[in-house]
């Protein structure tokens, strides 16, 4: 069921996945192509759930968009499958729909996993990246390169104020060889004692 309490509308960057874009950077390695967005299972699951929620709500598209805290044009862009919302905005959608974000993106029950707020997920994301950076032995610029982000982006991530787009987090999770939901703090880390025969992973530049 959707709560109709009004909330502040997000910026275009939050819905379009440009929250931490730095225009002076010559090349942004985390830029996600339209093809990648259209092929994203997570984004398709989100769109499917939003359409179901819209149909069940009995609201018009503009009215439903307002309950999510976005404009009608932003909702149309989301439904097209090419938007790349930020973690904070996705968490707002989940809160407004009274659904865990994990369920909206994975189409599976939350189960034992944690239902965290956008601020909590961003905090865990930042802390995890910071810990991996400290363990890597790399320079600041080297680790940013390893993650595929610019140095200014890496700075914002370490400060915990990046509010990154979903597919950017997914790409960083792949680089760190860590599950997306572990990186966001939703899934608890597996017991290391169960990972028999697997050595400690190391980071190498690619």
pLDDT digits (tens, 9 = 90+) for 150-159: 999 999 999 9
Residues 95, 147, single domain; the answer is no
Print the domain residue range for 174: 118-188
Q: Is 50 exceeded by the pLDDT of residue 7?
A: no
Nearest to residue 88, comparing CAs of 192, 18, 188, 159?
18
Residues 100, 122, single domain; the answer is no
The pTM for the full model equals 0.78
Residues 90, 134, single domain; the answer is no
Token representation of residue 204: 């190498």
Looking at the 3D structure of the chain, how many domains does it have? 2
What kind and span of H or E run contains 179?
none
DSSP letter (8 states) at residue 194: G
What is the CATH number for 40?
1.10.260.40
Q: Does residue 100 belong to any structural domain of this protein?
A: yes
Q: Is 70 exceeded by the pLDDT of residue 27?
A: no
Q: Count the Cβ atoms, other than its own, within 10 Å of residue 48.
A: 12
Residues 132, 99, single domain; the answer is no
Residues 102, 17, single domain; the answer is yes
Q: Tell me the pLDDT of the chain averaged across its residues.
A: 83
pLDDT digits (tens, 9 = 90+) for 183-204: 999 998 654 443 444 344 445 4
């Amino acid at each position: 069921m959707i709560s109709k309490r009004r909330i502040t509308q997000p910026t275009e960057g939050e819905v379009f996945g440009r929250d931490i874009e730095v225009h002076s950077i010559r090349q942004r390695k985390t830029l996600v192509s339209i093809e990648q967005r259209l092929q994203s299972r997570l984004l398709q699951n989100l769109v499917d759930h939003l359409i179901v929620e819209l149909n069940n709500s009995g609201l018009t598209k503009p009215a439903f968009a307002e309950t999510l805290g976005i404009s009608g044009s932003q909702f149309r862009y989301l439904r097209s499958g090419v938007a790349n919302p930020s973690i904070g905005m996705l968490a707002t959608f989940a809160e407004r729909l009274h659904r865990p974000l994990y369920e909206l993106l994975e189409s599976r029950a939350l189960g034992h996993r944690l239902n965290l707020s956008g601020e909590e997920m961003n905090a865990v994301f930042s802390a995890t990246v910071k810990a991996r950076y400290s363990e890597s032995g790399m320079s600041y610029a080297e680790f940013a390169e390893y993650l595929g982000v610019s140095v200014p982006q890496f700075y914002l991530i370490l400060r915990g104020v990046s509010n990154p787009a979903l597919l950017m987090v997914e790409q960083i999770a792949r680089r760190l060889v860590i599950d997306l939901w572990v990186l966001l703090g939703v899934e608890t880390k597996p017991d290391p004692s169960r990972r028999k025969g697997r050595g400690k992973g190391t980071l190498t530049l690619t």
